[in-house]
Structures are given as C-alpha cells and as structure tokens.
Amino acid sequence: MTSNDTDSTATPSAGTSLRTGTASSHGKTILIGEHAVVYGVPALVLPVLDVRVTATATPVDAERGSALESVVHTGPLDTAPAAVLPTVTAVTATLRHLGAPEQHLHVHVDSAVPTARGMGSSAAVAAAVTAAVADVFGRTLAPDEHHELVQECERVAHGRPSGLDARGVVADVPVWFEQGVVEPVPLGATFTFVVADTGVPGHTREAVAAVRARHDADPAAVDGVVAAIGDLARRARGTLEDGDAQALGVTMDAAHELLTALDVSSADLDRLVDAARRADALGAKLTGGGRGGCVLALVADGEHADRVAAALRAAGATETWTTTIGARA
C-alpha cells in the first residue's frame, strides 16, 4: 500500500491546507486455505503486487459537488449505482472518520484488479480510495484504522467479510490468517507466480453453500478434508520461510486435489491447472471461491513465467498476470 508520506494524527481543522491525495493498493489471491478457513483452519493470503489500483482524490467546491470517475461509474457521487456503493462508502466513511464530512472531492479510480475473480477487487479499491482521501488532508492512516475503514466498505460489498481481502491488498508479503490472528510471513527467497483467469466469474457463495451442505450431510468426511488443508497451509508457511519453491509447489498441487474433493473446482479450472503443470509449473491450484475465477501457478523465474502464461492462454485463459514477491534482483 502506498500513499504520500506526510503523517499526522490530528483531525483536520478549518485551516487545513488541502491537496490532491493519491494512494495505491494491489490484488490478492489465496495461496492455501480457501473454504477451509471458514471452518477455523489457517489460510495463507498472497499479495499480487503487480496488479494494482491507483486512486486520486482532488478537493472541489460545493457547487461542483463530489464525483466518482471509474470504469463502472462516472458521475456525481450521490447518484452512483449500487455497484459502486462500496467505493462511495470509502469516500464518505473516510471523510466522516477524519471529521470532514462536508468536504467535496473528485475521486478517480484506475483499477487493474478484475472483479468476481477472487483477487480482492472491492477491498483493493477501498484500500486505495480511503488512503487517497486521507492524503487530501495530509494524513497517513494507521494500519488498524485503515483496516477498519476498508472493512466498513467490505461489509457493504459482502455482508460479513473475514478480513482476508482487506489484509491481503495492503500487504507486501504473504499473510497468515488464523481465527482472527493475522501475521506477516517472512520469505526465505523470491517466489514468482502466474495468475490465470478462466474468464468465468467465480461463484463463491454457491461453492461455500455446497461445502456447507456436504458438511451437514457428512461432517466427518468434510472435517477430514478441512484438517488436511490446514496441515497444507502450515506446511506452505514453512516452505515460504525456508525459501523452498519446489516444496511449496507440491503443497499447492495437493491443495488443488483436496479442493476438488470438496467439489469447488470446475472443468475450466482443472483445464488450466493441467496446462500449467504440463508447462512444468512447480505447482498449480485454483484460488478463491472456485467454480470459476482464477488459477494460481508457481514458476521458477520470469522466463518460466512467460512460458507458463503462454500455455495457460493457449488452454483458454482470458488473461494472465505475473507477480513476484520477496527480494527482487
């Protein structure tokens, strides 16, 4: 997460000098733990640093009025459609939090994070917009207050968000998430991933409901799979800390098989996972809610990423992104 550097904890006063505020955030995926995290096991959230959102907020006078400029909606803030209500909330909630609810702003959002793909689009936009609005007043939000503002937007978007997305879109390393405890995971090496879009929106609610129904029908079986995913998450954390990409890839492959056993994969996802593996990816799995959305593949380096991305597009991926975490050359 980036913004201008000025930091102040004071509430804006009548004499505060305003400026154009800027901030950015990025996408995220789940490395290990989707679905199982609902049942209390840990999850690892992976920042997708190269798929970014940039927001600018420019003070305007009351006659002009507040406005939003984005791909989804361009026009007055008070007539924005429901689809951008979380973004509107990011503006209004931050102004209220800063004690300046009457301030008018022109907010521009430029997002490369796709929607309905499990990459945290709404949280990434909220993170960038809330920080940009604060930057108008020379404020840098503290991590906890920033998180709560993003969560307020996420509640508008999703009802009862876990906080996974809100943490992942502002982190620069993987985040360990376990029953409300959040920890950054230090990296023992550089890791490069390719994210591939099936072109099919994810059906997270449908998939979560299906897993819940399976659990109600056969709790022992689902609990066994959930526990196994939790064990993989713990193993994956160790491989990240040790810098062992080969072991992490094996863990990712195993996680995909367990998610398939929960019936949250799809023919589109399986086809891309198979294509990544045939291109010698170190590991590949679905990421997010499943039944659509994206595949995550671990690769050896940038050149390997290009080959895997080409194979994924040849297999039907509508878009691919490459992201690297850890020390960069």
Q: Is 165 a catalytic residue?
A: yes
Whether 159 and 169 have beta carbons less than 8 Å apart is answered as no
Residues in the chain: 329
Name every residue whose Cβ is closer than 8 Å to that of residue 167 and which is 6 or more positions away in sequence.
45, 147, 175, 177, 182
Angle at 92 between CA 108 and CA 95, to 5 degrees: 95
Write the single-letter amino acid at 110: D
Q: Which residues partner with 325 through β-bridges?
A: 191
Whether 162 and 37 have beta carbons less than 8 Å apart is answered as yes
Return the closest-CA partner of residue 129 out of 111, 113, 142: 111
The residue from 165, 197, 253, 268 that is catalytic is 165
Angle at 211 between CA 208 and CA 214, to 5 degrees: 150
Exposure string over 214-231, b if 16+ CB within 10 A, otherwise e: bbeeeeeebeebbebbbb
Label the pairing between strands 104-111 and 67-69.
Answer: parallel
Angstrom distance (rounded) from CA 233 to CA 193: 17
Write the single-letter amino acid at 283: G
The token pair at 141 is 């939000």
Instruction: List the catalytic residues.
Output: 165
